[in-house]
Amino acid sequence: MLDFIPFLFSGEGSLEGRWERVGDRFAGCVIEVEPEKNGTQNLRGRIVHLPPSMATAGWIVGDIKWQSIQPAAKGTWKLDDLRKHFETQTGRVIKMDFQPYRATLGLGGLLRLHSGPLPFFPEQNWKRVEPEESDATAS
């Protein structure tokens, strides 16, 4: 019944490189995905550029946004996404935790983070960017 799904979401490749968040209030955040420095084959995503909406909610450049990125299937990975619970009254982050997600790379190069088994209604969308593009937006 769902045989068409691989054709919609069959992007291949590595997640290594830079990704920019699109389509929500944290659009403009850029992360650099690189190998974790713990001797495993896992990857991690570190924030290299923040939009004002994230900076005012307790995020800082250098935060590890994604950790324990592992391949799950062709064009799909499992990862843990950092969440910060920000208290506006005090201007403080009161809690941090990690939300497990699947990341699916589509044919158009759009990376969808979703908590369910299928990538249809993703919670986050990211597009690959070249370092020059994201560096230009940071200034």
Tens of pLDDT, residue by residue over 5-46, are: 443 555 567 899 999 999 999 999 999 999 988 777 899 999
Residue 7, H or E segment:
helix 5-8
Please report the pLDDT score of residue 80 as a whole number.
97
Going from N- to C-terminal start, the domains of the chain cover 14-138
Give the gyration radius of the chain's Cα atoms.
Answer: 15
Using the predicted structure, report yes or no on whether residue 47 has a pLDDT greater than 90.
yes
In the CATH scheme, what architecture does the domain 14-138 have?
A: Beta Barrel (2.40)
pTM for the model stands at 0.83
- Torsion region of 121: left, alpha or beta (phi above 0 gives left; psi -120 to 50 gives alpha): left
Please report the pLDDT score of residue 123 as a whole number.
93
Query: Is 19 in a helix, a strand, or coil?
Result: strand
Please report the pLDDT score of residue 125 as a whole number.
95
Please report the pLDDT score of residue 12 as a whole number.
62
Average pLDDT, the chain: 85
Q: Max alpha carbon distance in the chain (Å)?
A: 51
